[in-house]
Amino acid sequence: MGLLVWLESLPLSVWVHESPSIWAQPTVLTFHTMGMAVLVGASWVLDLRLLGVSRKVPLSAFHWVFRTVAISLIVNLVTGVLLFMARATLWGAAFPFLIKILLVVASAATLLPIRSYVLRNPDQLEVSGQARLLAIASILAWSLAIASGRLLAYTVAG
């Protein structure tokens, strides 16, 4: 708890939380939302391809997804840390927040086996059953992650 109190008392945390500036919490939160749209949207496009949408497109054409996901993950990591610091004692002690983080980590983790599958089968059009299962897991995990994140506004920071 001492660590959370210290985090929350840092000048940067206080600024994000208390500044009336549009560049403080509103902008950080908005970038977090835009990052989410890019991150989840790009992941879902690849998941849809693995499940058979646009099946004529070779998997190698989707390399841009991994770069896009990497950039948006960094954006959301930075903005997420800022939002956490701003109210560290609140988030740090909230069970629903822990669930959200676990879901985000689980969702992002599905990208690793999906990436290695895509890199191993660049010219392939048919997708293995295992990769399809991964795609379904990815879609569901991101959906739950978004739902749990959105509901934090009601469960924790009401």
Partner 1 sequence: MPSITSFNLAHVHMLLNHVPTVGAVVALGLLIVAFVRRDESLKLVGLEVLFAIALLTLPAYMTGVAAFQKVRNQPGVADAAIRLHQDVALYGFTWMEFAGFIGWVALWQARRRGRAAAGMVGAATALTAVALVVMAQAANLGGNIRHPEMGGAVAPAIDSAEYLAAKISYVMVNSPWAWPASETVHFLGLSLSFGVLLAVNLRILGVMKQVPFGDVHRLLPWGMLGFVANLITGMLFFVGQPGQYLDSAPFYWKVVFLMIAGANFLYLTVFKKAWAAELNLADKSMAIVSLFSWLVVLYAGRMLPFIGHAF
Q: Which residues bind partner 1 (CB under 8 A)?
A: 22, 25-26, 29-30, 33-34, 36-38, 40-45, 48, 53-54, 56-58, 61-62, 64, 68, 142-143, 146-147, 149-151, 153-154
Min separation Cβ 141 and partner 1, Å: 13
Which helix or strand (DSSP H or E) is residue 129 part of?
helix 129-155
- Least CB distance from residue 41 to partner 1, whole Å? 2
The pair of three-digit structure tokens given for residue 131, joined into one six-digit string: 């990769």
Please, which residue, 7 or 32, has the CB nearer to partner 1? Answer: 32
Query: 20 phi and psi, to 5 degrees?
Result: -75, -5
CB of 4 to partner 1, least distance (A): 25
Tokens of 115: 């990436």
Backbone angles phi and psi of 21, in degrees to 5: -65, 145
As given in the structure block, the two tokens for residue 145 are 């992650």
Q: Which is nearer to partner 1, 4 or 29 (CB)?
A: 29
